[in-house]
Each structure stands twice: as C-alpha cells, then as structure tokens.
Structure 1
C-alpha cells in the first residue's frame, strides 16, 4: 500500500452514508465514540445468527463462544503487546477500573498513598479516589500547567514515595489531545514499588500502544472508541492478576482473567472487538499481526495528524477562535478543543450541526479538573472536534469554512433550513 486508501476505508463505515438536512453528515465527534466498522457489525451478527450460548457447555455453540473469546483476547494482546490471559472484558473501561480499584484496595491501609493527575478523565481518577477515601489513604496530585496544558512533573520525587501504592496517569487527554510524557512518572513509580494504572481510552484509536515499553501494570480502554462495539477491556499484568481478589459471586471462576468478568459477558460484542482490531491491522503490512497493527497505526497517524495540522493552521489565522492545546513541541492526538468569541460551546455546536451538517461536541467531557485549570469550566468549557481514519480533506475544508461563517455571522441573523 502506498497512497492512503481513504475511499476503501470509508466504504467500511456504513454510518458515513448518513445525511442531515440533505447534506452528507461529517462526524467529528469521534473522541466521544467512533463510528463502527462494518467488519465488527458483521462479526456480531455472525455470532448471534450462528447460535448464542454461555460457557462451559458440552455442545458446539458453547465451544464456539469460548473460541471466539480466545481469538479476541489474542487480537487485543497483539494490539497492546500483552498476553491473552491478561485481558478481561467488561461493560466499559470505567466499570472495569472501579472493579479493579475495589479489589486492589482491599489491602490498602491508612498511611498509604496514591497519586492521580489533574489531566486524567475521571475514569482513571474516581475509582482510585473513592477507594482511597474508603481506606483512609492519602491522595497526591500531579498538577496541570495551565499555560501549556501539560503535566507539571517538577515534584515527582515528593509525590511518589515508598508509601505510594498506585499511580494513575493517562496516555492522552480526551479533552485537549495532549500526549503527556509519562516516562518519568512510570520510572519513578517503578522505583518506589508502586503499581501503575494507565488510561489508554483516548490513545488507542490514534496511536500504537506497547504495554511492555510503558511498564504499565493496569491498562484500560474501550472498543467503542476504536471502531468497535460498546465494551471495555482491562489489561492486567500477570503477577498483579494472580494476586487480585475481585468481588464476585461465589461459584464463578476463581482463575484470572475470568474472575474479574462478573456475570455473563456480551459475547457478541467480544466478537466485534476482534474485527475492530482487524480494521487497524488491515491498513498495515508485516509478517505478524503485531507488525501489521503497528504499520497500520503509522498510516493512521500520518493521515490524522496532517488533517489536524491543517485545522490548527487555519484556526491560528481566525479572529475569534481560541485553540486550547499544548505547545507545538508536545505530541497530540488529532483532537482540537477550542472556544469561539460571543458563542457558547453549545450554541456553536448546534449551529455547526443545523447549518452545516457537521457534528462536533461541546462541554467538559468529564475532564472537569483540566477545564477548571484552563479557565473554561464556568463558560461551558470547550467545543471539541476529533478526526478519525475515515475523515477526508473535503470534510476538513467544510469544517474550516463552516467555522469561518459561524464566527462571522451574528446568531440573530441565522436562518435555518430544515
């Protein structure tokens, strides 16, 4: 493959054929959940039409369900460079994080400490924060530098010590796209003997993940962010999983990873996850699935970053638009958070949809601590546009032109045509 196969990619996403007010819809709301690749839909339908069944049965549909789960675990393991037996499925990343936090904190004692960051989504804050409050554990915070929208790592030696039981950090901000340099955090945590929880929910759709290079003990993400169905995954290092004592019903499996999977899982969605991984793999070349995944990500990054930089350059030239992002030297996902003078984020987003059939999101996206540090929380926070592998140059042109028109046209002069 040489040229980026944008037409071939778009043909794999049925939702991209949707229209709104007679125009093709433009989906720039991917950070909240991507569109679903047809391969994932087909895999789910195949599973259900072939006959659903629960586990441990002495009949073919049960065996097929167990095989599907094994196959998906192997695909996810290749996605993040982990082991299949380290992967547990659940309702979503947030639910899994709460379950793991409750299990891990069984052994926490007053005098212990944990470390959280002000950049993280609450999915990687509140599970640990609530556990710490229940156990009387001290919480230290790695702050955000509000001028650069990056993490301030100047006090790591004080914040992470021999008393630290866990450090939670994000791979990428779901709100402003910052990809923080977490290596010093991970190294300091390892030196202190603390476990590390890494939120990869916003990162997985856009960049390759290597659990081993990260040194992460816990890694959380959700398939509905990377072209699959609504289901979450927890990747837990073997030595941690072996000691984990999740809350579960008594007769259920005591062996990991099944012991974390409370109740009957969404087997159809699990089948869809393998196909979502397969979409990324299909964009790359290589001798192994892992090699093809990495090459696929390289192509995705090149495409998305090129388009995102086009928008950034256009925004810098527009009066009335303020872009909230880290300096150029800091890597970012193709996620753009901004505000428009004289318009609330909600009004801007409504006009973008109703006048131009372009879907962007508004709000704090649960990153309330970051929004507060950025000084936007009380004013409705941000407008957020996110690019995906299926975003085109034409869609970016439409978005840039629509933004110019909205900020030039007073709201009371708008005429809607439905």
Structure 2
C-alpha cells in the first residue's frame, strides 16, 4: 500500500523552492492567482526545444519529426494530469481564447429562446463568452448566484435554473477572487437530472494549481485551465469528452485536422510552450515521488503531489487567516481553509485596495487589487465604487515566514491602541 502524505509530515519546502529560479530574489510572490512562478523543468524544456532546433509539424526532416513527437508527449502529459485521453486535449493561447472559440462553435445550432447558465462567482473568461453567445443567438441567460456572506453558491439551486432548453452550464472550479472551492461534481449531478442534454463547461484555472483534477469524477463535458497558473508557461489547455468532440464543428482553416479535440488547435501553436508544459508535469511527478515514493505511474505521482500541496497550503492558509483577523481585515469568502483554495480577498478599513497593494509592493510583497476580471463578484459584493478588493494567493512554494512578513506589513497600516501606526518594516524588495 502507498503511504499517503499527511499534514504532520515534513513538506520538502527547501527542495521545492530550489526548483523555482525566481525565488532566489527577496520577493514574496503572493500574486499566484494571476500567474505562478515557473518551475525549472518547464524553463529547461522550453530552452532545450528552441536550442535543439524548432520547426512546424508534418515534415520529413528531423526537426519536424521531433516537433511531432514533442506535441504528442505534451498531449499525453496533459491527459495524465487531468485523467483524460490525449485526443481529448487541445492547446491554445490561453483559457479565455479557447473558451471564446468553444462557445462560438457550440452555439452554431442554438436558437432564440434556448437557455444557458453562468455564475456570479466566476472570472469573466467563463461568463462573457457565454453572454456574447446569448446576445448573438437571442438566448435567455440564467444566473447562479452566490451568498455574499459565505462566498458560495449551492449546487441544489441549479435545479430551478435548468431545464429542457438549457444548452450549457458554465461553472468555475474555484473562485479567482474569493478562493471558494466549488462543488462542481454536485452541480453536474443536478444538471444531469434536470437538464440531461445540457453541456457542463468548467473553468479549472484556479482549482488546477491546488487540487488534483479528475475529469471523469467531475462528470463535466469540457474543462479548461492555464498552465501558467500551475508553475508552467503561458498556454491554455482544453479537455473535451471524446465522444462530444467528434460532434463539434470548430471554426478553423480547411487543411487543419479534425481529430478529437485537436480541431480547436488553430494555426501554429507555441511548441516551446508545449515543451514547458511537459516540464511542468515532470516537476509535479518529481514532487509526488518525493512525497509518496511508492507511486508507480505519472498520474498517481501527480495526484500525490497535489494531495501534499493541499495539506501544506492548508496549514499556511490557516496561519494567514489568523493573521488577517489579527490586523482587523475584512475577509470575503469562506472563513476557514475547509472548502477553499489559498486565495484570500480582503479590505482594510480606511485604506483603498490599490493603496494597500502599493504599500505591500514597497515591502517586496506582490499582491493584487481591484476586480481581477471577476466583475460580477465585485458587483455582487457592492464594492465597485470602493475599488474592489485586495487579493493575496499562496501556493506550495510559499513559506510561513512569508506569511508572517505579509501580516507584519499589513499591521503597519493598522492604528495601534495609542492611535499611532506601527513602526514600518525595513525589509524591501531586492
């Protein structure tokens, strides 16, 4: 039996950090929800491909044949990561571009009066493409709302929103603004009962860096994510259930292939980015074997890696949440680490979110402020005129010391009992 990683075991943080060249600088990278740092194997893979000689696919010469093999390995790697098959994988520029392409292709047969469901908790990349489709086709948009007090929507609420004319339900795996980890499998189950012909499209951009994804277990029809938020290069990945892919007429040039999900790979892709995606998977496999030496295949190793990251990030996240409470920050979203990823959105009384982010930047701490393209979230919370939120996001290469550094920097903005600001930290970005 494979011994699974537990929260009480020592996470190999020093070995992990050694895999990220950008961590050599005196910076606290809490901007991870907008893009993580890139692991060394991903960087090495991109460089190696370009240095060895690149080419387009389909040629008789050596570099073209090597690129063919590279592309095949990249599709296999993404399939292993998601629990799918290589011909169910398509690469694109990013998740947003892929979603726009998919929405346009799916909507060719949709008609006025048909319906679709989007949520108020999602990044606009999984909202706007469907709103545009609804506008163009005269469809009805139904909104799955969330509770502002908890940052959650309820899967059971979908039952009243879907029916025989529902064509697609677009859901997020996790909120890029509030960190909520959504019950996608539960939502899919509701859709299957009340709208069995509807498709479920999942934005896994924020869940993929923090939890293992199994498309079969989720039960969805399509899923997309971005490797650059999972320690890899700027790239988008789309998974389409095999049988479904063969029914979709993708917008593409005539000579382009029509096999499986590959029909959405329009034009010449970034083969160096695909090489980087392979390196990203190599890194996750390495981490999984470090945490669970008994794993015997790549998929199992990556699941072990994500399980270990969940446990480590849970502990760091609880430390951060306690610190936010200590400085009097107002947290939005789930109050504890249960049911969330380590993305935290908050406000600090008396300080505009932009001013807080700018203050943190002077202390070498990278954080975001504003709406993060989650425009419906900010609107629902009533924070548009207030400038939105401050957002910090951890991932498994963060440390407890960095969390403490963040809280100390926020504490400088909080009045002391005597009414004076705390002494500023002398630590700045190197």
User: What range describes the TM-score normalised by the shorter chain of this pair?
Assistant: over 0.9
Distance 1:326 1:59 in 2: 55
1:264 alignment counterpart: 268
1:361 aligns with 2:363: no
2:380 alignment counterpart: 373
Which has the larger displacement, 338-347 or 188-197? 188-197
Q: 2:325 aligns with which of 312, 316, 320?
A: 316
Identify unmatched segments of 5+ residues in structure 1. 19-23
Which secondary structure does the structure 2 equivalent of 1:244 belong to?
A: coil
Output one character per residue of 1:92-130: Cα deviation in whole Å (capped at 9) or x when no partner. Answer: 000000000000000101121111111111111111111
Q: Where do residues 232-247 of structure 1 align in structure 2 (5 Å cutoff)?
A: 232-247=236-251
Alpha carbons 1:90, 1:231 under 8 Å: kept? yes
1:256 positional shift: 2.8
Q: Where do residues 9-408 of structure 1 align in structure 2 (5 Å cutoff)?
A: 9-18=16-25, 24-153=26-155, 155-191=157-193, 192=195, 193-284=197-288, 285=292, 286-319=295-328, 321-328=329-336, 330-354=338-362, 356-408=363-415
Distance 1:107 1:302 in 2: 45
Distance 1:147 1:10 in 2: 36
Alpha carbons 1:180, 1:330 under 8 Å: kept? no
Which secondary structure does the structure 2 equivalent of 1:166 belong to?
A: strand
Distance 1:59 1:144 in 2: 55
TM-score (structure 1 length as normaliser): 0.94
1:21 alignment counterpart: none
Closer/same/farther in 2, CA of residues 415 and 117 from structure 1, 3 Å limit? closer
Closer/same/farther in 2, CA of residues 329 and 279 from structure 1, 3 Å limit? closer
Distance 1:123 1:227 in 2: 20
Distance 1:183 1:15 in 2: 36
Which secondary structure does the structure 2 equivalent of 1:262 belong to?
A: coil
Alpha carbons 2:158, 2:191 under 8 Å: kept? no
Alpha carbons 1:362, 1:383 under 8 Å: kept? yes
Which secondary structure does the structure 2 equivalent of 1:243 belong to?
A: coil
1:201 positional shift: 0.2
Between the two proteins, the alignment pairs up a number of residues equal to 411
TM-score (structure 2 length as normaliser): 0.92
Closer/same/farther in 2, CA of residues 184 and 6 from structure 1, 3 Å limit? closer
1:176 positional shift: 0.7
Which secondary structure does the structure 2 equivalent of 1:178 belong to?
A: coil
1:204 positional shift: 0.5
Output one character per residue of 1:209-244: Cα deviation in whole Å (capped at 9) or x when no partner. Answer: 110010111100001000011000000011111011
Distance 2:320 2:303 in 1: 26
Distance 2:146 2:342 in 1: 20
1:46 positional shift: 0.5
Closer/same/farther in 2, CA of residues 54 and 112 from structure 1, 3 Å limit? same
Distance 2:412 2:368 in 1: 18
1:147 positional shift: 1.7
RMSD of aligned residue pairs (Cα, Å): 2.0
1:5 alignment counterpart: 12
1:330 positional shift: 4.8
Output one character per residue of 1:364-387: Cα deviation in whole Å (capped at 9) or x when no partner. Answer: 101111112122222111111111
Alpha carbons 2:321, 2:336 under 8 Å: kept? no
Distance 2:415 2:208 in 1: 36
1:328 positional shift: 3.7
Closer/same/farther in 2, CA of residues 154 and 365 from structure 1, 3 Å limit? same
1:311 positional shift: 0.9
